[in-house]
């Protein structure tokens, strides 16, 4: 058996990192709150206690122009540096190092008018930026340097200079966004000048024992991005300027290729990090979809990187590093790359958390303490809400029995895991099963509970989930009509022509399930690159063979139907909805909005669109139009005179929502 490379120290700019696991930058929302430093301190300290060697914070702007929003976090004054000292002190108490990410958003700033190298509007921003003047460019370089000095003053061991993902430095580097004709534009040397002056200035101002991580975009995934020859020149210039390490950036935010969603294979971009490692004299960090120790270790063993960087997995499990180093993979609460409680929250101004771990970023709000009195707790339903409740209640010392009428744990997660690109949901079920067995929870499957079965319990938690909503439609009982459970759980045969009523997450999941044939690209990096036209040779600018993906067309004729007018699937996740819409579009799935459903008969689904009668001649109509709480047992349970708590879908059934289910189960368990 090979010795673990994850567990070996790494020397960087006079610092010794205790292992090769780095926590990547993850904005939490606390960065903008006056008392947010206390919350950040608790959040980061939990990860430091969890064994991580180095933490990279969420992005902090070097000036007012670079903030994401008008009230975004910046570090420009001594007073602001004092605010950060609380965070760095907490991390250092537990032996980890911490670097602050300096992030200037450039044309991505969601402000009245952003600034950029050139006045070229980003496709993901409604505002056209103003081009920085030459004097403003030079002042911005000084702002980066001053920001790093203040970070050092605040106790940070170094900084990460954000030079990727299409932010300001990346905008200077790429022809796509830099049309300047002064010393910061035109030639490659000039386009690299901004980054080079920033890194060299920070090194001169902060000394040799200050860590400077340069996050380099090895793969832009946009047209007119950098070529690999461009990157080689940038690598050499950053080394000469005084960088300590390279972190790997993959894809601009405006790129139409998924890079971190659950449908992206694990470590899908490791070979590009390997090219960076071959070209660099400095340590190189691998990123993107590294969520389990075996994946991380394989990257290091193959010589593709010197360290691994995990952001969302550290939300999912603060103890990830300790568990990895102790070879306890089964005990890791695995990031499923859903983005629902982290990135989706940040992009709408909410605090970050984690679908599978609601304690993340809520260490000072969700406090788990031993139960003052040990109780017998019955949890009826072993879906995400029930499993989370049983786990937390057992951890607090309660005697828990978990019932389910089906033969396996997981509830709706067992449906989710069957969808192409969503195999990570297997990991969530594995984790809860491991923890429940370790905690001694009495698991009773294939058990349809009646009220008398739980008469002797002190507390009863009803987590029986949902019933699919039966919509009011003439012909709803026609043999052509099916529910999503018929398709995804019962695996009933489905015809070649299908209409899906409902364009929420379930409707799109059914579309994914029915439209994909053959190998799943979420399990095969090379197939994924082929489908999304990623240039593995990196000869083309931006790393693209073509601007259009080439996904295998569906063998079925599928139409997703929506009552509301406008974009079909508009309510899908902020950071992943576009992927689902684009994927199904490329497979030839039809999407119709603004419909009135008339009836189902032998001819198919009758609809009205813009006042015109139409018939979709389909073999099956699949209803994915919402759910209703399954509270069939509630009255009988309440008649026992015992406390009855509703969680998950049994409490609220508005769209299947594992995030809300796990949170509600956890909250009830904390209150028992």
By C-alpha distance, which of 289, 241, 245 is closest to 10? Answer: 245
Chain centroid offset of residue 204 CA: 36
- Burial (CB < 10 A; 0-12, 13-18, 19+), residue 548, is exposed
Q: Locate 484 and state its tokens.
A: 């999503």
CB-based burial, 410-419: b 16+ in 10 Å, e otherwise: bbbbbbbbbb
Residue with tokens 């998950």: 648
Residue with tokens 């070097």: 62
Rounded distance between C-alpha atoms, residue 387 and residue 409, angstroms? 8
- Known catalytic residue at 44: no
A 10 A CB-CB count for 335 gives: 30
Phi, psi of 17, rounded to the nearest 5 degrees: -80, 130
Of 44, 156, 167, 484, catalytic: 167
By C-alpha distance, which of 339, 337, 356, 338 is closest to 348? Answer: 339
Residue with tokens 């696991």: 21
Rounded distance between C-alpha atoms, residue 137 and residue 172, angstroms? 10
Q: Which residues pair with residue 557 across a beta bridge?
A: 497
Rounded distance between C-alpha atoms, residue 304 and residue 276, angstroms? 8
Contact (CB, 8 A) for 309 and 17: no
By C-alpha distance, which of 51, 529, 28 is closest to 293? Answer: 51
* DSSP assignment letter at 591: E
Contact (CB, 8 A) for 305 and 24: no
Chain centroid offset of residue 464 CA: 28
Rounded distance between C-alpha atoms, residue 195 and residue 161, angstroms? 9
Q: Locate 94 and state its tokens.
A: 């537990």
Q: Which residues pair with residue 210 across a beta bridge?
A: none
Q: Locate 523 and state its tokens.
A: 């399990």
Q: Which residues pair with residue 379 across a beta bridge?
A: 402, 461
Q: Which residues pair with residue 358 across a beta bridge?
A: none
CA atoms within 13 Å, Cβ hemisphere of 199? 29
A 10 A CB-CB count for 641 gives: 8
Rounded distance between C-alpha atoms, residue 358 and residue 352, angstroms? 10
Using DSSP's 3-state secondary structure scheme, residue 58 falls into strand
Using DSSP's 3-state secondary structure scheme, residue 458 falls into coil
Phi-psi region of 554 (alpha: psi -120 to 50; beta: other; left: phi over 0): beta
Beta-sheet strands, E only, within 227-352:
245-250, 284-286, 307-310
Catalytic residues: 167
């Amino acid at each position: 058996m090979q010795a673990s490379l994850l567990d070996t120290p790494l020397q960087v700019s006079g610092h010794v990192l205790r292992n090769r696991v780095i926590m990547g930058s993850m904005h939490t929302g606390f960065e903008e709150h006056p008392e947010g430093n206390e919350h950040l301190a608790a959040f980061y300290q939990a990860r430091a206690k969890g064994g991580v060697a180095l933490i990279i914070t969420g992005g902090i702007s070097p000036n007012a122009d670079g903030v994401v929003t008008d009230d975004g976090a910046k570090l420009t004054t001594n007073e602001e540096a004092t605010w950060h000292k609380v965070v760095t002190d907490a991390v250092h108490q537990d032996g980890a190092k911490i670097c602050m990410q300096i992030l200037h958003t450039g044309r991505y700033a969601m402000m009245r008018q952003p600034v950029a190298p050139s006045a070229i509007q980003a496709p993901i921003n409604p505002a056209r930026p103003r081009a920085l003047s030459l004097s403003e460019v030079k002042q911005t370089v000084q702002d980066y340097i001053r920001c790093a000095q203040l970070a050092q003053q605040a106790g940070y061991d170094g900084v990460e200079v954000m030079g990727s993902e299409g932010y300001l430095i990346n905008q200077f580097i790429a022809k796509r966004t830099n049309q300047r004709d002064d010393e910061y534009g035109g030639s490659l040397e000039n386009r690299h000048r901004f980054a080079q002056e920033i890194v060299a200035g920070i090194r001169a101002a902060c000394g040799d024992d200050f860590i400077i991580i340069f996050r380099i975009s090895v793969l832009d995934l946009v047209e007119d991005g950098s070529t690999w020859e461009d990157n080689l020149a940038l690598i050499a210039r950053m080394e000469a300027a005084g960088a300590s390490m390279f972190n790997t950036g993959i894809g601009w935010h405006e790129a139409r290729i998924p890079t971190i969603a659950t449908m992206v294979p694990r470590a899908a971009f490791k070979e590009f990090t390997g090219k960076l490692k071959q070209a660099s004299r400095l340590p190189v960090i691998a990123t993107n979809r590294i969520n389990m120790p075996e994946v991380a270790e394989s990257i290091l063993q193959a010589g593709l990187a010197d360290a691994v960087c995990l952001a969302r997995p550290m939300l999912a499990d603060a103890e990830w590093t300790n568990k990895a180093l102790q070879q306890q993979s089964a005990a890791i609460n695995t990031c499923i790359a859903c983005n629902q409680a982290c990135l989706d929250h940040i992009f709408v101004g909410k605090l970050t958390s984690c679908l599978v771990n609601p304690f993340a970023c809520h260490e000072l709000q969700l406090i788990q303490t031993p139960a003052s009195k040990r109780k017998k707790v019955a949890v009826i339903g072993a879906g995400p809400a029930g499993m989370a409740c049983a786990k937390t209640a057992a951890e607090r010392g309660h005697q828990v029995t978990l019932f389910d009428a089906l033969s396996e744990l997981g509830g709706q997660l067992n449906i989710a895991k069957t969808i192409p690109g969503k195999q990570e949901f297997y990991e969530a079920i594995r984790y809860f099963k491991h923890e429940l067995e370790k905690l001694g929870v009495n698991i009773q499957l294939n058990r349809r509970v009646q009220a008398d079965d739980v008469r002797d319990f002190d507390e009863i938690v009803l987590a029986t989930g949902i019933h699919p909503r039966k919509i009011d439609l003439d012909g709803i009982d026609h043999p052509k009509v099916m529910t999503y459970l018929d398709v995804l759980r019962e695996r009933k045969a489905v015809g070649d022509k299908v209409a899906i009523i409902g364009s929420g997450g379930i409707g799109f999941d059914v579309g994914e399930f029915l439209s994909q044939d053959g190998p799943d690209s979420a399990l095969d990096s090379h197939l994924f690159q082929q489908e999304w036209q990623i240039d593995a040779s990196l000869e083309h600018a931006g790393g693209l063979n073509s601007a259009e993906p080439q996904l295998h067309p569906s063998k079925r004729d599928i139409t997703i139907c929506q009552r509301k007018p406008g974009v079909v699937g508009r309510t899908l996740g902020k950071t992943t909805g576009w992927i689902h819409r684009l994927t199904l579009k490329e497979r030839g799935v039809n999407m119709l909005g603004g419909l009135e459903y008339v009836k189902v008969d032998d001819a198919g689904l009758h609809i009205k669109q813009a006042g015109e009668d139409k018939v979709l001649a389909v073999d099956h109509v699949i209803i994915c139009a919402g759910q209703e709480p399954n509270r069939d047992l509630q009255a009988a349970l309440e008649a026992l005179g015992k406390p009855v708590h509703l969680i998950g879908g049994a409490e609220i059934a508005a769209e299947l929502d594992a995030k809300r289910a796990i949170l509600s189960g956890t909250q009830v368990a904390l209150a028992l």
